[in-house]
Amino acid sequence: MTPWQEVAGRIEAGDAAGTLRLVTALDASGRKTVAAELPRHLAEQKRVHAGWWEWRRQIPALRVAGAACLPGPAAVANWLFRRDFGWRDDHVADAGRILGLLRQRPEPWRADLARRMAERLRAPQVGAEIPHWRIAASLVRETGIEPPANDAFTLGWLRSLGTAVHGRDLEPAHLERITDDPLFARLMPHAFEADGLGSALFGAQIDVIVRMVDAGILDRPVILDRIVGRLLSDGPSALPTLAELHDRLAPTLDEAEERVTGYVRMLPVAPLVVAETALAQVRRLEAEGRLSDDMFAEATEELSFRAERKLLLALMGWIGDAVRREPSRAASGLAALSAIFGQDVLPLQERAVRTALGLAGHAGERERSTVREAAAALPAELREKIAAEYGEVVVTPIRPPVPVLLVTVPPVPPPPFPSPEELVRAIGAFRWPLGSEEFERILAGLVEWADREPDTLRSALDPLREVLASHAYCYTPFVEHEKPYALLCRAALMFASVEDSRSRVRTSKSRPHPYGERPHPIDQLIRERVREIVTLFEAGDRRPVLLATPTSGTGHIAPDTLVARMELLEAAGVPPLPADFQQALLRLPRSADPDVVARAARLSSPAGRELAAWIERGGLPDPVASCELRYDRRSRDGAPYRELRARIEPPGTALPDGAPPSLIGELFARDPEDRWFYAQILDWWPAVMPSHRDVMAAHMAEILPLFMDESSGQVDAVTRVVHGDGPVGVAMAYALVVGMGNRNPAQRAAATDALITLAARGDVPTAEIGRAVGELVRDGFVKLNRITSVLDDASRAGAHAVVWDIVAEASRGLLPAAGEKPRANVANLLATGARAAELTGARADIPELAAVVERGGSTRFAMEARRLHRQLTS
């Protein structure tokens, strides 16, 4: 048995310790042989297995073999940093084995490797628990080289401080071990300047630094300067943990006074926790008479424009205390309170008015004028209180400017590939997730150039065969749920070499899903279009063109373009591919020019005649879509499991003969009992049925709740749907409201865009959306504060009229009856409604709102209800 065969046997058995024994005993010739075979072995594992999980047990042994046998530092560094080798198992033992092997190399060789590894470190790869960093740090220490100027390396050392004392009391001996580390003196001065500091500064690190400062190991003024400087320079990204370290060091009054300018400059933009730290120091200094008037004025002015209620309440309390201590500061305090008058949050306005009333005795005429002028923005009842103490408040009845409603348009699809070489470059560059536009472009280009210049395309694809193979068969063992990305790679590989592609097909690919779930018919249609191209190339067949490639950003195909493509197929004497033909029919617009109808009537093939009939009648009739919340006792704790289910009732008139092929039929008839497996390619769906928006929204409404707490971009699909055509109603309302309730702000912004687009087109189903908001909020399915944030943004963007209609309908179901406690955030909904009603000039009689106002109260909810009622009835 050769040395490689012995080593390969231990690697395949996942025996890292046995591999270590073998490679340690090899001579130079044996190590050279193993080094030559390792890349080939790795490539073979990736080729024959579906993914790394099937050969993961080999990874520790592979790392050991490479560290021992590869010749140069560059080769070893590249091997250890291979993306295939993610450090997943037995971290500490792996690093120990590899370090033992590396210590057998000459010192200059190890120094070179240390530099290479340290320079390649990235923030997620640092810390004593991560072997990449542990190996690099050990080699740097042992060789005595200067640590590289790499923030990740510095952060790894900082994280290692926490590991060194984890679960232990900090004894002097522990601190001594840390300071004896040769990396301490070199890296500690740079730790507070490293990018990504937040990934390495936690409780244990804070404990160590505080003890070092207390013990005099670290210079206290220097550390405080670096902390304050970093908090100030990071601005909105300042680290709460750095503020915690600052507070743990507990600056004295003298130390705080030396850094007061930094504290004040943090106040306008720092995160809440950091701003609270800065404000606490400024207030300490002011209370002790060590804060100048200029600093007081700057601090109060900067804070008055913050949006956080907690900070503003603290500011108003401070202003009252400060002016009582030093009446000369009333001017600065009242200027800040006047700014808060414009916050448009009733509880804050009310507190600011109350504080201003308490300071009226300290106000000169100039300050009184400032307060009166700012009070014009207050609600009437608060204006009256200011007027009683500060004099008449003049209100000029100026209607706020009405925003102009603007809407984006979907992008134009990219042009076809001008050559096979351009197509192959795109194939080599794409990665999952792949956009639907690029998917359609590559699919069309592959079919077109396979027909026009097959030899050129095959030659261009040949260098990509290994790459295509690695992606084509490694995503799922279940044929129903293969990603279109993998299928597209398989189609390209099948055209490049039928024999090579066939040899890589694994029998597991034909296994059904273990839970018996069917893939959603929309996903199935997308996949089937690629599978039939794989089959086409496997049979050595070709087509001059695909029918279903969109010509519009909505997913539509211009009828004249589709007729021309069908004419090409008829001229070539070949039928269309079945799934491609089904998809093309679904992408037709709802009407066509008479000339195109006449041209289509001249098509002679069976598919051509069917296409002509679809164009003439404007596609399929519209079904009726609806949604409902259903309950099923399927959760682990026995509580009812809520889910949103769709019902799509087929059109009242019978579908034309041959109109709904197998997959299309399931899209236009849907029972809430049907259950499908959903793939995460929702953004592709809108282009599948661009002329039936409510049908598509019904399918989406069931899926979007699954992604309520994710940022994977699924709500973007709703934005794309609304750009299409066809009626909208209950299904669109539920899809929109679920999108509005997404946890991620970027996803809620997508829902805002969808609402604005519908408003610009005059298509908003306001009553249905309002009722959906009421139902889903009452049931706890969505959170009202997220809904109101979307409605506010849409109102400011010009959709105020539809926002008011939505709020008016939603409030009927959300306002409390007599004796009931108001639901959380209903006050926000009423405030949103008041702003939208003011822009719209709405007048309305809402009995539920009038009843709330009649009951009175001083809570924010009661105040917002009175404000809205006055707006609607004055």
CA dihedral sign of residues 67, 70, 73, 75: negative
| Beta strand 641-649 pairing with 624-632 | antiparallel
CA dihedral sign of residues 858, 863, 869, 871: positive
How do residues 575-621 score in pLDDT, each as one tens digit? 999 999 999 999 999 999 999 999 999 999 999 999 999 999 888 88
Q: How many CB atoms lie within 10 A of CB 776?
A: 26
Q: Which two tokens stand for residue 652?
A: 């009242």
Say whether 241 sits in a helix, a strand or coil: helix
How far apart CA 239 and CA 649 sit, in angstroms, is: 54
CA dihedral sign of residues 300, 301, 303, 304: positive
Cis amide bond preceding 433, omega within 30: yes
User: 527, 482 in Cβ contact below 8 A?
Assistant: yes
Say whether 399 sits in a helix, a strand or coil: coil
Amino acid, single-letter form, for residue 115:
R
DSSP state of 283: H
Question: If residue 502 lies in a helix (H) or strand (E), which one and from where to where?
Answer: helix 498-504
Q: What is the pLDDT of residue 826?
A: 95
Residue 682 CB contacts under 8 Å (≥ 6 apart), including other chains: 700, 703, 704, 707, 714, 717
User: Residue 357's pLDDT band (boundaries 50, 70, 90)?
Assistant: very high
User: Residue 653's pLDDT band (boundaries 50, 70, 90)?
Assistant: very low
Closest CA to 667 of 689, 684, 682: 689
How far apart CA 443 and CA 440 sit, in angstroms, is: 5
Q: Which two tokens stand for residue 582?
A: 């089904």
Q: Which two tokens stand for residue 583?
A: 């998809």
Closest CA to 823 of 783, 789, 856: 783
CA neighbours closer than 13 Å in the CB half-sphere of residue 693: 25
Backbone angles phi, psi at 729, to 5 degrees: -160, -130
Closest CA to 525 of 579, 586, 577: 579
Average pLDDT of the residues of the chain: 87
User: 62, 13 in Cβ contact below 8 A?
Assistant: no
Query: Any idea what the Cα angle at residue 107 is, between residues 102 and 111, rounded to 5°?
Result: 80
Stretch among 664-668, 674-678, 681-685, 712-716 having the lowest mean pLDDT:
674-678
Average pLDDT over residues 828-849: 92
User: 200, 127 in Cβ contact below 8 A?
Assistant: yes
Q: What is the pLDDT of residue 391?
A: 92
Q: Which two tokens stand for residue 271?
A: 């995160």
How far apart CA 595 and CA 39 sit, in angstroms, is: 62
Q: What is the pLDDT of residue 169?
A: 57
DSSP 597-634: HHHHHT--SHHHHHHHHHHHHTSSPP-EEEEEEEEES-
How do residues 764-790 score in pLDDT, each as one tens digit? 999 999 999 999 999 999 999 999 999
Say whether 288 sits in a helix, a strand or coil: coil
User: Residue 38's pLDDT band (boundaries 50, 70, 90)?
Assistant: very high
Share of the chain above pLDDT 70, in %: 89
Q: State the first-to-last Cα distance of the chain, in angstroms, to the nearest integer.
A: 97
How far apart CA 560 and CA 327 sit, in angstroms, is: 80
Q: What is the pLDDT of residue 165?
A: 55
DSSP 575-595: PPPHHHHHHHHHTS-S---HH
How do residues 781-826 score in pLDDT, each as one tens digit? 999 999 999 999 999 999 999 999 999 999 999 999 988 999 999 9
Average pLDDT over residues 276-292: 96
Q: What is the pLDDT of residue 422?
A: 94
- In sequence order, the β-bridge partners of residue 632 are 641
How far apart CA 688 and CA 555 sit, in angstroms, is: 7
Amino acid, single-letter form, for residue 649:
E
Q: Of 48-62, 520-534, 565-579, where does the model show the most confidence? A: 565-579
Q: What is the pLDDT of residue 663?
A: 64
How do residues 185-222 score in pLDDT, each as one tens digit? 888 888 899 988 988 898 889 999 999 999 899 999 99
How do residues 721-761 score in pLDDT, each as one tens digit? 999 999 999 999 999 999 999 999 999 999 999 999 999 99
Q: What is the pLDDT of residue 769?
A: 97
Give yes or no for residue 35 having a pLDDT over 70.
yes
Backbone angles phi, psi at 358, to 5 degrees: -70, -20
How far apart CA 128 and CA 368 sit, in angstroms, is: 63
How far apart CA 728 and CA 841 sit, in angstroms, is: 27
Question: If residue 855 lies in a helix (H) or strand (E), which one and from where to where?
Answer: helix 847-855
CA dihedral sign of residues 589, 593, 595, 597: positive
CA dihedral sign of residues 73, 75, 77, 80: negative
816, with CB counted inside 10 A (0-12, 13-18, 19+), is middle
623-639 CB burial, b ≥16 within 10 A, e <16: bbbbbeeeeeeeeeeee
Closest CA to 664 of 692, 628, 640, 636: 692
Q: What is the pLDDT of residue 568?
A: 97
How far apart CA 531 and CA 544 sit, in angstroms, is: 17
Strand ranges (E), 395-553: 518-519
CA dihedral sign of residues 687, 691, 693, 697: negative
Stretch among 102-106, 230-234, 340-344, 540-544 having the lowest mean pLDDT:
340-344
Q: What is the pLDDT of residue 667?
A: 78
Give yes or no for residue 90 having a pLDDT over 50.
no
User: Residue 133's pLDDT band (boundaries 50, 70, 90)?
Assistant: confident
User: 542, 454 in Cβ contact below 8 A?
Assistant: yes
Average pLDDT over residues 466-488: 67
Q: What is the pLDDT of residue 45?
A: 84
Rg of the chain over Cα atoms, rounded to whole angstroms, equals 34
Query: Any idea what the Cα angle at residue 292 is, between residues 286 and 296, rounded to 5°?
Result: 65
Q: What is the pLDDT of residue 65?
A: 94
Q: What is the pLDDT of residue 282?
A: 97
Q: Which two tokens stand for residue 320?
A: 């009252």
83 vs 832, residue with greater confidence: 832
